[in-house]
Amino acid sequence: MQARAKRKRDSAQHKQTRAASKNMKSFTQIPPGTQILIGRAARRRRVLERAICSVFEGWSYEEIIPPIFDYYDVFAKGWGQEEQIYRFIDREGNILALRPEFTSLVAKTVATRLVSSPKPIRLFYSGEVLRFEKPKGGRQREFAQIGIEHYGGAHKAADVEVLLVAVEAFQRLGIQSFQINLGSVDFFGGIVDRIELPKEQIDALKEVLNVKDQSGLEALLQTLPLEERRKNILRAVPHLTGGKAVIAEARSLVKNPRSVEALNHLEEIYSIFERLDLAQHLTIDLGEIRGFDYYTGILFRAYVRGLGFEVASGGRYDGLPAAFGEDVPAVGFSFSLDRLAQIVTPTLENNDANSAAVDIDSDFRKALELRQSGKAVKLCL
C-alpha cells in the first residue's frame, strides 16, 4: 500500500518537473523564424526605414498602413504561394491569414475603397510580413518589407518612375555598387505562347531555364518535338543578360509580337536611363523567368555586391487589381530591410553622449526643464 502511494507521489512529482521544464523551454526558446531587435539593431532598422520613407515621400507617395491580417482569400488569390501563408480561423469560422506581403492588400484597397480616387495613386508601406519558408540570408519567417505601389499611370512613365525611386533609395543609403536587373515576363511569355506543349513539359523547361542548366536543357530538348529554330531560341534564353546589346541579340531571335513589344519597352526604359546617366545600374536580364504569378510586364530584382541574395524586387502586375474588381494598371517594388541592414551601417547618433545625466537627488523638476528645452536626460536611479 505504502509503496503504491510513493509511486503515485513520485509520478506526480515527475509530471510537475516535466511541466516546469516544458514551460521553461517555451520562454527561452523563440519560435524559429522570429527575431528580436534590441538597442542598436532596432535603431539601425528604424534609421534605414526612415531614410527610405523620406525618399518615397519625396516622390509624392503616401503611406498606407494595412492590417496585419486579412481574409485568406485575399492572399491566396493575389499572391498565390499558398503553402507559405500562415492562416488561422477566427471565432466565427472565417479563414484569415497573416499578411505574407503587402501588394495584394494594397491592390485590394485600391480596387475597393480607393476605386473613385483620381489616378495615378501612389502609395508606400513599411512593416512586417510573415511567410512559412526557410529563414535565409538574414531574412526570417517574419521580416520587414518596405516598398511602393503605383496605380493607374501610363506604363512606360510609371515603370521608369518606380525604378528611379529605387535608384534614389539605394543612393540615399550610400550604396553605390547596386545592380537592377530588368526583365519582362512577356519576352519569355511570348516564346512560350508559340510552343505547343503540355503544361508539364513547359514547367520542366522553366525549371532548367530557371537555373540556367545547359546540359539539362539540352537533354530535355532532345525529347521535345520542336523545330530547330525554337530550340535555338530556348538555348539562347539563359544567356540574354547584359547591356543594351542583349536587346539587339534578342531581336534577332524572336518575331512574335508579345516578345517584340516587351523588347521595345525594355529598350525605351534603357534609353531613358542612358540619358539620365544611370544605365550603369541597369542590366537587361531576359533569362530571368522567376517571379510570382501575378507579374504581367517588367520584372526586376536588385543586387548589391557582397550580398548573396537580392535586396529588392518588383515589377508590373496589371491583373492584380482586376482580380479584386477594378482593372487598373499597377507597378511597384519592395526592399527587404533585414537584408539591407546587413550591408548598410547607418551612422547612429549616440544617445548616451548627448543626454545630460541628471542625478535623482537634484529633483525631477530639473529633468522636466531639460526635457522641455529639448535635451535628452537619463535619471541616475
Partner 1 sequence: MLVIALCKGRFLDPSLAMLGSVGIRFSEDVASSRKLIFDSEDGRHRVVLVKPTDVPTYVEYGAADIGIAGRDVLLESRADVLQPLDLNFGHVKIAVAGPRGTQSINGNDNPTVRIATKYPHITMDYYNARGIPVEIIPLSGSIELAPLMGLADRIVDLVETGRTLKENGLEIVEVIAESSARLLINRAGYQTKRHEVRELIQALEKVIA
CB atoms within 10 A of CB 101: 21
Query: Of 242, 291, 319, 346, which one interacts with partner 1 (CB under 8 A)?
Result: 242
Query: Of 136, 206, 255, 378, which one interacts with partner 1 (CB under 8 A)?
Result: 136
Residue type at 305 in one-letter notation: R
Q: How far is CA 88 from CA 70, 72, 121, in A?
A: 10, 8, 32
| Pick from 200, 120, 111: nearest CA to 158 | 120
* Closest CB to partner 1 among residues 137, 319: 137
Binding mask 175-204 for partner 1 (x = CB under 8 A): --x-x-x-----------------------
CB of 309 to partner 1, least distance (A): 6
* Closest CB to partner 1 among residues 127, 243: 243
| Pick from 325, 357, 291, 262: nearest CA to 79 | 291
* Closest CB to partner 1 among residues 267, 310: 310
Q: Is 206 in the site for partner 1 (CB under 8 A)?
A: no
Q: How far apart are the C-alpha atoms of 75 and 81, rounded to whole Å?
A: 8
Residues that contact partner 1, how many (by CB under 8 A): 24
Q: Are strands 121-130 and 95-98 parallel, antiparallel or unpaired?
A: unpaired
- Span 298-357, contacts to partner 1 by CB under 8 A: 303-310
Coil, helix or strand at residue 358: strand
- Span 116-135, contacts to partner 1 by CB under 8 A: none
* Closest CB to partner 1 among residues 213, 326: 213
Q: How far apart are the C-alpha atoms of 152 and 377, rounded to whole Å?
A: 49
CB of 95 to partner 1, least distance (A): 26
- Span 31-90, contacts to partner 1 by CB under 8 A: none
Coil, helix or strand at residue 7: helix
CB of 285 to partner 1, least distance (A): 7
* Closest CB to partner 1 among residues 213, 318: 213
The tally of CA atoms less than 13 A away on the side-chain side of residue 202 is 13
- Span 263-302, contacts to partner 1 by CB under 8 A: 283, 285
Rounded to 5 degrees, φ, ψ at 18 are: -60, -45
CB of 281 to partner 1, least distance (A): 11
CA 22 to chain centre: 36
DSSP designation for 139: B
- Segment lying near partner 1 (by CB under 8 A), choices 121-129, 173-181, 192-200, 359-367: 173-181
- Segment lying near partner 1 (by CB under 8 A), choices 33-41, 80-88, 105-113, 174-182: 174-182
Coil, helix or strand at residue 149: strand
Rounded to 5 degrees, φ, ψ at 54 are: -65, -30
Residues that bind partner 1 (CB under 8 A): 136-137, 177, 179, 181, 211-216, 238, 241-242, 283, 285, 303-310
